[in-house]
Structure 1
Amino acid sequence: MQQCPAEIKIEELKKTAMEYRKSVCALFIFLFAVSSLEIVCAQIRRTNVSCFENERRALIQFKESLVDQSNRLSSWTGDNCCKWMGVGCNIVTGHVVNLDLSNKFPNAEDLATVMSRESWKKWEKFKGTVLGGELNPSLLKLKHLRYLDLSYNDFSRIQIPPFLGSLKNLRLLNLSCAGFGGKIPHHLGNLSRLEHLNIGICKTFFVVAHNLFEADSVPWVGRLTSIRTLHFVGLSIPNSEDLFNSINMLPSLLSLSLVNCKLTSFPSRMHVNFTSLTSLDIQMNFMESTIPKWFSNLTSLVNLNLGLNAFKGSTDFFEQLRDLETLDLQVNQFGDPVLNSLCRLNSLVYLDLSRNQLKSSDFHCLRNLTSLSVLKLTGNMLQGPFPESLTSSFCRLRVLDLTDNNFSGLLPTFIRDPSSCYQNSLKELHLRNNVYNDYFPAGLESHKDLEIVNLANNSLYGPIPYSIGKITNLKILLISNNDLNGSIPSSIGELSNLEDLDISYNLFTGVVTELYFAKLSNLKNMQISGNSLVLNVSYTWVPPFQVRMIGMSSITVGPRFPPWLETQLQLERLIMFDANISDTIPAWFRNITVSLGTIDLSNNKLAGGLEAFCDAQRLSTIDLSNNLLSGSIPSCFGTLQRLITLTLSDNNLEGHIPSSLGALGIQLSYLHLQNNRLSGKLPSTLQNLTNLRSLHLGENNFKGTIPAWLGRRVKSLQILRLNSNEFFGDIPLQLCQIRFLCVLNLGGNNLDGSIPHCFRNFTCMRIKSRLDTSFGFRYNERLDHIMKGRSLEYSDSQIPLLKFMDLSENNFIGGIPEELTELEGLLSLNLSSNNLNGSIPKMIGNMKQLQALDLSLNKLSGPVPQGLASLNYLSYLNLSFNKLSGPIPTGNQLQSLDDQSIYAGNNGLCGWPLLKSCHDKRSTSQPNLDQDDKGDAESNHLWFYAGIGPGFCVGFVGVLTILHFKKSWRVMYFQFLEKIYKKLYVAIFLIIAKFQRRG
C-alpha cells in the first residue's frame, strides 16, 4: 500500500528531529567535557598560578600602610601573592580579584551585645586582632579587584578614602564595623558594577549611639545601578526623602538596611520601583510617624524589621505582604489592631511585637499563623488568662516570650499539660514578670528540647517536681521571686548542660549538699539567695564548676568562710550577704579577688582587716558593711581604678580616710563609711572625686570645718551625710553649688552661724517629681533616716523620692530663712535642737510634699502659721519647747495630729489639742468630753506618767550591760535616751500645767 505524500513528509520530519536531538546531545556532551577538562586544568594550574609582579608590589605597599599588631599578615611574603592570607586570584588569569581582610575573630559580629564581663573580655581580645592604619592608594593597581572586605577592624575613624570609587570592577565592598567615620565620599557612586555595599558602625551597645558617619547628600546612591544589597548602619542622613528617592532608582535592589541612620520619616507618596526587595531593615531610627501606604507594594518582602522606632497608626498594608517570614516590630506604638492585620500571613515564622501598646488578650486569629515558630510579646499591657484557643497552634512554637505583661490565672495549657499537644517543639519559654498563679508545671519534662525556662517574678507555688532532672538540654532555669516551696529536688544535679540557675527568693527549705551540684560542670551563674536553705558540703569539697556569679545571700553558708570558694578562679560576682558567716577573711581569698568585679559580704560577722582586697584591680563594687572588720582603710584602695562603690559602714574601722582614695578620680560614685571609729579631717584629695553621687560619713569622729571644696568640686553629689561627727564652724556657702543635692544631713555636730539663704539653689529639693538617677547599673544603697519617730531604710529605687534636710542638734542661730519654703519637693525638714529665733516662715504652706517637720527645742516665737494646715501629707510634727503663742491652726491634716506633746513647752499656745482654750472662744477646741470620762483620762495619765521613771531606769540598767560590745547599739541607745528625755520633760510640764490650772 502506497503512503500518501503527507505521511512521507511526517516521517522525514521525525527522522530529522531525531538526528537534531542526537546532534544537540552530542554538542552538550562535548561542551560538558571541555568545561570539565578546563576546570581540571585550571585546578592543576591553580597550584602553580602566580600573581603579577605589579600587583604583588601593590599589596606590599598596601600592607606597609596598615597597623597589624597581631601579625595577621605574616604570610604576605614570597613571590606568589595568590597564596597570601586573604588574597584570592583568578585561577585562569592570575589577577588578584579578591581581598578579604575581615577579622575572623570568632563571633565578632555578636561581641558585646550583652553587657557582661565575659563580653568585655572577648571584646578586649578582639581589639587585639584588628587591622588599623591607613588604606594605601596602591590598591588602584589591582584593576581586576572584584571583592574587598575590611570589616571588623579598627581604622580609628579615618574617612573612607575617595579612591575606592575608582575600583571600577568591584562587585562587593564591605566596610562595616571597620572603624571608619566622617563623611562618606560621593565617589562611591562611580561603582556602577557594585552589587553589594556594606558601610557602618558596629551594632553593639557601647558604640551604637556615636561614631556616626555623615552624608551631606546621598544622590550618588542612585547611580549604583547594579546594586542588590545596600546596608548602612550609623549613617547620619540629613534628608530621609532624598535618600528614598535615590533608592527608588535601584530596581535590582533585594536587601536594604538603614539601621540607626537618624531617619525622620518616609516619603508620604512614592511610586515604588524597588518592588523586588526581599529584605528591609530600618530599625533604631526612632521615627515618629505612620507607615505609608506604598509599603503594600513591597509584596516580595520576606524579612521586615521596623523595630526601635515610634511607628503608629494603620497597619492594614501587612495583609498584602503574604511572603513575610520574619517580622520585627518591637519598641513601637502599635495598638491592638496590628494583630488583626497579621492574621493572614501564613508564611510568618518569626514575629516580635515586644514593647508596643497591646492591651487586649483577644489575639485568637494568631492561630492562623500555622508556620509561626517564634512569638515575642514582651513588655505590653496584655492581661488575663492566655487564650485557650491558641493551644493547638502554639504547640509548634520554638520560642514563646510573654515577659513583662499582666497575664494571670493558670499557665498556658500547652505548658502545664503537654498531652494537649501532638508535638512539643518548645525550646525557649519566657514568662517572667507576670501574675500567673499556678503550680509549677509538673509536665515540663515532656518538652525535651527545652533550653531556657524563665518563670521568675510570678506567683507560682508548690514544689519543683523531681522529674525536672529529665530536661537534659536545659541551659537556663530562672524561677526566682515566686512562692515555690518544699525541698529542692536533688535531680537538679543531673542537668549537665545547665549554665544559669536562679531559684532565689522563694520558700524553699532543707539542706543543700554536694549531690545537688554533682553534674553541673557547665554552671556559670548560681543564685539560691532568700530561701530557708542550709549549705552543707564537706570541708574538702571541690565543685565540678567554675562559676562567674554566686548569689547565696540570706541562707546559711557559715559559720566558717566557705573553703570551696578558693577553687573558683573565674568568679566575677560574689553576693553572700546575711549568710551567717562568723569568721576571719582567709589569706587565700586574696587569690580569687583578682577576677572579682562585685563583692557583697555585708551583714555577716567577718573580722580582721581589709588587705585581702588590695589586688582586686577589677572590682567595681565592694560592700562589706555591718561586719566586725577592724584596723584602718588600706591606702591600696586608691589603686582600684575601676571602683565605683565602696561601702564599709557599720564596722570597727579606725584611723583616717586614706588620701589615696582621691586617685580614683571620676570613677568612684558611692563612698559609705558611716558608723565606724574614723577620725581626723577629710583629706583634700577627696575633691578629685568629681563624679561622687553619695557621700556618707556619719556617726564617726571626724573633726574640723566642712570643706568648701565639697561645693566647688564635687557638684554631682545627690546624698551628703556628715551627721553625728565633730564638725564645727559655719556651713560653707559653696555647698549651695551642689544643685542636685536631694539628701543633706549635717545633724549632731557643733556647727554654728546661720542657715544659708542660698539653700534655695538645691534644685532636687525644689522639684516635686522623681529625680532621674539611672546610672547605667544597679546598686542597692541602704540609706537610713530618722523620720516620723522611727529609723527607716531606703533602697536605690526609693532614694530619688526621699528628699530631706536635717540640721538638728547644732548651734545655729538667727531665723529660719524664708527661702527654705521654696524647697517644695522636700519630704522631711528637721531643724530641732538649735538656737533659732524669729517666727516660723509664713509661706511654709508652700512645702506641699512635707511629711515630717521638726522645729522643736529652739527659740522660735510668734504664731503657728495657718499654712501648716494645708500640708496634706504631714504625719509627723514637733513644735515643742519654743516660744510660740496664739491659737493653733485647725483644718485638714492638723486635725489628725492630736498629740499634745507636739506643742508642749509653748506657754502662749492655746486651742485644740491642748486643754487650754483661747480667750476669744474661737472654735479651736474639740467638743467637751464628759466630765467623768475626763477625770478618768486624767487619772490614767497620772498613773502612766508615774510609771515612766521606774520603767526607764530598769531598761537603762539592762541596756548598759551590752553597750560596751557594739558601737551601733551605743549610738541607737543614746538616740533612744534623748527621745525618752524629751517625753519625760513634756510629761512633767503637762502635769505642772494641770495643777496650775486647778489652783
Structure 2
Amino acid sequence: MDIAAYFNPISRPILHLLLLLFLASSCLNSSTSVKSACMEEERRALLSFKQDLTDPSGRLSSWVGHKCCRWRGISCSNRTGHVAKLDLRNPFRPIPNNLFVDVEWNLTEYKESCLGGKLNPSLLGLKHLSYLDLSHNYFKGIHIPNFIGQLTNLRYLNLSTYLWDDSYVEEIPSSLGNLSNLNYLDLSHKADHSFMTSNVFSNNLNWLSHLSSLKYLSLGGVNLNSTGVSWVNDVNMLPSLLELHLSHCGINANLLPLSTSHLINLTSLSVLDMSRNGFNPSFPKWIFNLTSLKKLDLRANFFTGSFPYDIARLKSLEYLDLSVSYLEGQLPNFMGNMCKLKSLILNNNRFDGGIQEFLSGFSNCSRLESLDLSGCGIVSTLPNSLGMLKSLQHLDLSFNSFWGTISDSTIGNLSSLKILRLNSNHFNGSIPESLGQLSQLVYLHLYGNSWEGSLTEAHFKNLSRLESFLVSTDQPMPIIFMVTNYKWIPPFKLRLILMNNCRVGPAFPVWLQSQTEVSHVELTNAGISGAIPKEWLFHISSHIISLIFSGNNITGKLPFLFNSFPKLQCIDFSVNQIDGPVQLSSTNAPMLRLLSLTHNYLNGTIPSSICSIQFLQVLDLSNNQLSGKFPQEWGLWSYIQAVYVSNNNLSGNIPTSMGVPTNIAILSMDNNYFSGEIPSTLQNCSSLTFLYLGGNQFTGSLPFWIGSQVFKLRVLQLRSNLLSGHIPQHLCNLPYLQILDLGHNNFSGTIPKCLINLTSLVYDRNSWINYYAAGYFYPRPMTVTSKGTELKYIGNDARFLNIIDLSSNNLEGEIPEKISNLLRLNTLNLSRNQLSGNIPSKIGNLHLLETLDLSQNKLSGHIPQSLSSLTFLSHLNLSQNNLIGRIPLGSQLQTLDDSSIYEGNPSLCGFPLSTKCPEDGDGMPPSPIEDINKDHEDNNENLVFYAIFVLGFVIGFWGVCGTLILKKSWRYAYFQFFDNIKDNVALVIALKVARYRREV
C-alpha cells in the first residue's frame, strides 16, 4: 500500500520533505560512520607500521583505539571507508641560515620532529592507498624500500627529505616504475651543504618511461652523474609532464644534450628547474624549444658570456631566474618584449651598466612584479624610468654601486611595492619622503648607504603594512629621527627594526614602545640614554628573538634579564653603562645563542647559572669589572664556540672542564689574573682557532698539545705571563698560524729553525675568515703590539696581520737565516733577548715588513744592505747591540732619521748618527740629504750644459744644411766656394812641392 495514501494532497509535500531529511540524516550518519570507522586489517597494518617507527615528538600519539580514520595523518574514503591517504610529512622545515636564525639550533628542532626507524612492509595492507607523504623525515638506511613499488594505486608519492648526515647513501629503486598511476612523484633530497650533491643517486632513469601519467617530477639533489645523457631520453618519455625539478643533480656540461631536438615530447612542460648544476660554459639550447614554459629556474649554473638572447623566444615565460650565473656584459634590453614576464631574478652576475636602456625596454607591455638585480656590480644613478614599472611589487637593487640622490617621483610612482631593498649601495642625500606614499610596503631596507639629513613622520605616513625597516648610514653625522610630536604612534607594527647610526634618543622613544610585536631590534649608536622601559620588555618578551642596543648610554642593572624570554637568541648591550652583577640563567633565556655585554660596568662574579644556558654559542663579558673564578660548570655548554672574558679582574685556575665543549673556536681570557698551568684538557678542542691568554700569571711550559693535538690555530697570544722552558718544535706544526705572540715571558733556548713550516707566513693561504656564530657576524676587537705600540683591529681588518713577537724573553743563539723566507710577515719583534750572531743577510726578502725590532740583544756584524729594500718599513729598532760599519742607505731608510734607532752600537757610523765613517775622511761627512741635494744640483748643471750643446748643434747644423737644401743658388755658390778653396789649396801644395824639389 502506498503510504502516501494516508495523507491528503496538501500534506504530501511535507511528507516528501520529511523523507528527504531522513535520507540526508542517514547519509550523514553513514558518512560519519565511514570517517570514524576503520577496516580492521588496515588498522592492524597501520599499528605494525607505527611499531617500527621512532617518534620523538609524539606525532603519532593519536594512533590508539579502533577509529583509525580519525588518527592524525590518516584520511579514509567517504565512499568505501578504506584508508586512502597517509600524510605523515614533517610539519617542521629547516630554515636557511640568515642574519637572525641559527641553522644548527633550527636543525636540532627539525631532527626532534622527524619520524625515524624503518618502513614496515605492512603498508602493503593498505591496498586502496592513493596518497603517501613521508616527506622531511629521516629513515636512515633504506629510505625508499622496494615494496613501495607494489602500492600500485598510488597517485601521489612524496619521499623528499633534508639530509644532514654524509653517511646516508641510497640508490633509488627501479621498482618505482610499477606505479603507473602516479601523477605526482617527489624524491628530492636537500643536502646540508647546498652546493654539493647528496649521496642519494640513480644509475639510470629508464623506469620513468612506465609513468606515462606523471605530471610532477622532482629529483632535486639526486646525483644523476652516472646516467650520462640518457636522463634526457628517459624524461622525454613523459608526455603529460607539467613540472620537472632537477635542481642540484650534478648535471654538468658533459651530461647535457647537444641537439636542440631533444625533449620535443615535453610540449606541455610549464615549469623547469635545473638550478645548481654545472652547465658551465654552455647554455642548453634545447630549452628554447619549450615554448609552453612559464617558469624557468637556472640559477647557480656558472654560465659565462653575455645574456642568452634566445630567451626571448619563450613568449609564455612568467618567471625567470638566472642568478649566480656569472653572466656579464650589458643588461638585456629586449626583456620588455616578453609581455607575460612577471618575475626576473638576475642577482649576482656582472653587468656593466645600461640600466636606463634595460628599464626602457619595459615601457610597452610590462607586467613585471618582481625584479632582482642585487649584487650585479651596476654603477649608475637611479633612473627616473624605474617609475614606469607600475606593477612592481618586489624590487631588489642591493649590493651594487648605485649613487647619487633619489628623486621623489622615482620611488613614489611604484605604488604596488611590497618589498624595496636599496641597501649596500652609495646613495647619498636625504631619504625621499615619497616612501611614505607606498601604502603596500612590507619590507624597506635602506642600510649601508651614505644617507644624510633626517627622518620624520612623513616618511612613514601611509606605511600601515610595514613589518621590516632597516636603515643605516656610514656618514660621520648620524641620521636624525625627528618626530615633531613626541607621543607620535606610527601606523605600522614592525617585526624587524634595524637603525644603526640613527639618532632616536636621548629618551627611549615612545614610538618604539608602541612596537609590541617586534621580534628583532637593533639600535646601535642611537643616542639612547637611561633605562629601557620594563613595560615594553614585558610586552615583547614572548616573541623577541634578538635585542641589540650596543653603543648607547643605557643604564641600569640588566632589568631586561629579569623577565622570561622563551625565544630570545641574541642579547647585545655592549658599550653602554650597565652595572651590577650578571644575573642570567636558562630560566631567563633558554634559547639564548649570543650574549654580549662587553664594555660596561658589570661587577661581582660570573654566576654558575650562566652555564645552564644549553644552546649558548657566544659569550662576551670582556672589558668589565668582574672578579672571582670562572665557573667550574663550563662542561654544561654543549654548543659554546666563543668565550670573551678579557680585561676583567678574574683569577684562579682555568677550569679543567674547559676542554669538554670541544666545539670552542675562540677563547679570549687575556688581561686578567688567571694563574696555574694552561689546562691540558684544551687539547680536546680540535676546532680551537683563536687563543688569547696573555696578560695573566700562567706558569709552566708551552703546552705540548699546541701543534700536536690542536692544528687550526691562527692566533696564539700568550704574552706577559710567567711561562718558561724552550719553545718546542711542535709549535711549527701550525700551518694556519698568522699571529705568534710569546713576548714578555721567561722562555729560553734558541729560536726554532722550523718556523719556516708556518706556511701562512710564507705564502697567502687566504685562510682568515669572518667568524660567524649563532647566525650573527661577531667581529672580535684584536689588540696587537705593532709599530712600537698597541694597535686595535676589528674583525676582517686583522686578516692581513702576520706577526711573530718573541720579545722580552731569555732566548739565545743566532736568528735563523731561514726566517727571511717568511715572506708574509708584517711584524718581527725579537727584542730584549740574548740573541747573538749576525742579522740574516736576506732580511730584505721580507718585503711586507712594517715593523722590525731587534734591539737589546748581542747581535754583531754589519747591518745587511738588503735592509734598504724594505719599502713598507715604518718602525725600526736596532739599538743596544754590537753592530758595526756604515748604516745602509735607501729611500725608505732615509725617512727613518731617528738616531735612537741605532744608539748603543758604538761601532756604527753614517747617517743619521753623528759618527763619521773612516772612509769619509777628515771633517764631518755630509748627510745623505745634503749629498742628494748636491747631486741634484750637479745633475741640473750637467743637464743645462748638454741642453745648450745639443741646441747649438741643431741650430748650427740645420741652419747651414737646411738653407743649402732649400735654396739652390746658395747651394751652387757654397760648393763653388769650396771648389775654389780646394783648387787654391792644391795649387799652394803643388808650388811647395816644386820648391822643395829644386832645393833638394
TM-score by length of 2: 0.77
Q: CA–CA distance in 1 between the matches of 2:511 and 2:308? A: 58
1:946-961 mapped onto 2 (5 Å cutoff): none
2:767 aligns to what SS in structure 1? coil
1:380-399 mapped onto 2 (5 Å cutoff): 380-384=349-353, 386-388=355-357, 390-391=359-360, 393=362, 396-399=367-370
Residues paired across the two proteins, number: 867
Q: CA–CA distance in 2 between the matches of 1:547 and 1:147? A: 40
Shift of 1:84: 5.3
1:618-633 mapped onto 2 (5 Å cutoff): 618-633=591-606
Which residue number corresponds to residue 690 of structure 1?
686
Which residue number corresponds to residue 798 of structure 1?
797
Query: Of the candidates 316, 319, 323, which is equivalent to residue 354 of structure 1?
Result: 323
CA contact (8 A) 2:209 2:238 kept: no
Pair 1:866 & 2:838 matched: no
Pair 1:476 & 2:447 matched: no
Q: CA–CA distance in 2 between the matches of 1:104 and 1:705? A: 54
**1:499 counterpart letter in structure 2:** E
Query: Of the candidates 166, 172, 176, which is equivalent to residue 150 of structure 2?
Result: 166
Larger Rg: 2
Shift of 1:161: 1.7
Pair 1:261 & 2:249 matched: yes
Q: CA–CA distance in 2 between the matches of 1:216 and 1:399? A: 39
**2:573 counterpart letter in structure 1:** L
CA contact (8 A) 2:189 2:198 kept: no
Pair 1:604 & 2:573 matched: no
CA contact (8 A) 1:251 1:274 kept: no
**1:598 counterpart letter in structure 2:** C
**2:599 counterpart letter in structure 1:** N
Q: Deviations over 1:711-742 (max 9, x none)?
A: 44443221122223343443344433333221
Q: CA–CA distance in 2 between the matches of 1:94 and 1:197? A: 23
Shift of 1:440: 3.5
Q: Deviations over 1:932-979 (max 9, x none)?
A: 99xxxxxxxxxxxxxxxxxxxxxxxxxxxxxxxxxxxxxxxxxxxxxx
**2:266 counterpart letter in structure 1:** L
Shift of 1:144: 4.0
Query: Of the candidates 470, 493, 496, which is equivalent to residue 502 of structure 1?
Result: 470
**1:500 counterpart letter in structure 2:** S
1:493-572 mapped onto 2 (5 Å cutoff): 495-506=463-474, 507-509=478-480, 518-519=489-490, 522-537=493-508, 542-560=513-531, 563=534, 566-567=537-538, 568-569=540-541, 570-572=543-545
CA contact (8 A) 2:233 2:263 kept: no
Which residue number corresponds to residue 265 of structure 2?
276
* Alpha-carbon spacing, 1:827–1:741, altered in 2? closer, same or farther (3 Å): same
Q: Deviations over 1:196-224 (max 9, x none)?
A: 46353554756885763244555444554
Pair 1:668 & 2:664 matched: yes
* Alpha-carbon spacing, 1:732–1:309, altered in 2? closer, same or farther (3 Å): same
Q: Deviations over 1:19-44 (max 9, x none)?
A: xxxxxxxxxxxxxxxxxxx9999999
1:816-855 mapped onto 2 (5 Å cutoff): 816-855=815-854
Query: Of the candidates 211, 222, 234, which is equivalent to residue 235 of structure 1?
Result: 222
Which residue number corresponds to residue 979 of structure 1?
none
CA contact (8 A) 2:496 2:520 kept: yes
Which residue number corresponds to residue 453 of structure 2?
486
Q: CA–CA distance in 2 between the matches of 1:146 and 1:730? A: 74
Shift of 1:825: 1.8
Query: Of the candidates 435, 448, 454, which is equivalent to residue 421 of structure 2?
Result: 454
In structure 1, list runs of 5 or more residues that go unmatched: 1-37, 280-299, 934-999
**1:261 counterpart letter in structure 2:** C
* Alpha-carbon spacing, 1:219–1:921, altered in 2? closer, same or farther (3 Å): farther
CA contact (8 A) 2:823 2:847 kept: yes
Out of 853-862 and 596-605, give the one that drifted further.
Answer: 596-605
Q: CA–CA distance in 2 between the matches of 1:931 and 1:772? A: 43
Query: Of the candidates 111, 121, 124, which is equivalent to residue 140 of structure 1?
Result: 124
Pair 1:906 & 2:905 matched: yes
CA contact (8 A) 1:609 1:630 kept: yes
CA contact (8 A) 2:236 2:266 kept: no
Pair 1:436 & 2:420 matched: no
* Alpha-carbon spacing, 1:272–1:244, altered in 2? closer, same or farther (3 Å): farther
CA contact (8 A) 2:429 2:451 kept: yes
Which residue number corresponds to residue 937 of structure 2?
none
Q: CA–CA distance in 1 between the matches of 2:487 and 2:429? A: 19
**1:252 counterpart letter in structure 2:** P
| Percent of matched pairs sharing the same residue | 33
Q: CA–CA distance in 1 between the matches of 2:589 and 2:362? A: 53
Shift of 1:411: 0.8
Q: CA–CA distance in 1 between the matches of 2:698 and 2:533? A: 36
Q: CA–CA distance in 2 between the matches of 1:538 and 1:768? A: 49
2:756 aligns to what SS in structure 1? helix
**1:475 counterpart letter in structure 2:** V
Q: CA–CA distance in 2 between the matches of 1:594 and 1:45? A: 47
CA contact (8 A) 2:89 2:137 kept: yes
Out of 623-632 and 878-887, give the one that drifted further.
Answer: 623-632
Shift of 1:479: 1.0
Q: CA–CA distance in 1 between the matches of 2:881 and 2:836? A: 9
1:862 aligns to what SS in structure 2? strand
Which residue number corresponds to residue 402 of structure 1?
373
Q: Deviations over 1:122-180 (max 9, x none)?
A: 76666555433332222223344443322233324444222222333433332112879
Shift of 1:930: 9.0
Which residue number corresponds to residue 327 of structure 1?
296
**1:484 counterpart letter in structure 2:** W
TM-score by length of 1: 0.77
Shift of 1:670: 1.8
Which residue number corresponds to residue 963 of structure 1?
none
Which residue number corresponds to residue 880 of structure 2?
881
* Alpha-carbon spacing, 1:571–1:745, altered in 2? closer, same or farther (3 Å): farther
**2:224 counterpart letter in structure 1:** I
Q: CA–CA distance in 2 between the matches of 1:757 and 1:613? A: 49
Which residue number corresponds to residue 348 of structure 2?
379
Which residue number corresponds to residue 707 of structure 1?
703
**Which has the bigger relative contact order, CA under 8 A and spacing at least 6?**
2
Out of 369-378 and 723-732, give the one that drifted further.
Answer: 723-732
Which residue number corresponds to residue 426 of structure 1?
392
2:469 aligns to what SS in structure 1? strand
1:547 aligns to what SS in structure 2? coil
Which residue number corresponds to residue 972 of structure 2?
none
In structure 2, list runs of 5 or more residues that go unmatched: 1-22, 626-647, 935-1000
* Alpha-carbon spacing, 1:882–1:408, altered in 2? closer, same or farther (3 Å): same
1:807-818 mapped onto 2 (5 Å cutoff): 807-818=806-817
Q: CA–CA distance in 1 between the matches of 2:558 and 2:873? A: 51
Shift of 1:317: 5.1
Shift of 1:428: 1.5
* Alpha-carbon spacing, 1:491–1:661, altered in 2? closer, same or farther (3 Å): farther
* Alpha-carbon spacing, 1:429–1:719, altered in 2? closer, same or farther (3 Å): same
* Alpha-carbon spacing, 1:815–1:866, altered in 2? closer, same or farther (3 Å): same
Shift of 1:104: 6.9
CA contact (8 A) 1:496 1:521 kept: yes
Q: CA–CA distance in 2 between the matches of 1:798 and 1:609? A: 33
Q: CA–CA distance in 1 between the matches of 2:510 and 2:273? A: 57
Q: CA–CA distance in 2 between the matches of 1:931 and 1:95? A: 103
Which residue number corresponds to residue 198 of structure 1?
185
Shift of 1:695: 1.9
Shift of 1:762: 2.0
Q: CA–CA distance in 2 between the matches of 1:39 and 1:245? A: 54
2:228 aligns to what SS in structure 1? helix
Q: CA–CA distance in 2 between the matches of 1:540 and 1:453? A: 23
Which residue number corresponds to residue 312 of structure 2?
343
**1:311 counterpart letter in structure 2:** N
1:775-790 mapped onto 2 (5 Å cutoff): 775=771, 777=773, 778-790=777-789
Query: Of the candidates 46, 65, 77, which is equivalent to residue 52 of structure 2?
Result: 65
Pair 1:741 & 2:712 matched: no
Out of 496-505 and 390-399, give the one that drifted further.
Answer: 390-399
